[in-house]
Amino acid sequence: MGEDWNGWVSEGISENGEALTMKWEGARELSQIRLTFWSDFNYPIRVTMAPNRQKQQREGIPAELVKDYDVELIRDGKTVKRIEIKNNHQRLNVLDFEKTECDTVKITVHSTNGHEDAVIFEVRAY
């Protein structure tokens, strides 16, 4: 991977997953987390019947996309909400949930769709 990444990049994925943790001073009330994952836009994606263009495209889900991950909302060291995502196939994941007070958000990536590293470009918490 390049040195000029604008995101969080794991160094492989261990058996217990790789975690990105964000902590605030004091509790925040959240009801949505938005995650943007790497899907490698270097490959053309278009609807076409032209055989030469079809050969340039990859089939299936990009190997770079995060596949399985958990999001934990933590308050005073205790998990107050846990969201498990399995078999993700989208670049943008919007997780809506009932309002929950927390001081920490922990995202643990367990696997990608084939790539050795996990990449998260953006996390938004509302």
CATH 2.60.120.260 given to domain 8-125: yes
Helix (H, G, I), strand (E, B) or coil at 16: coil
Angle at alpha carbon of residue 18, lines to 100 and 116, rounded to 5°: 135
The confidence score (pLDDT) of residue 58 equals: 66
Please give the chain's pLDDT, 126 residues, in tens. Answer: 555 668 899 999 999 999 999 999 999 999 999 999 988 766 666 677 777 767 766 677 888 999 999 999 999 999 999 999 999 999 999 999 999 999 999 999 999 999 999 999 999 999
Burial letters for 72-95: b for 16+ Cβ neighbours within 10 Å, e otherwise? bbbeeeeeebeeebeebeebebee
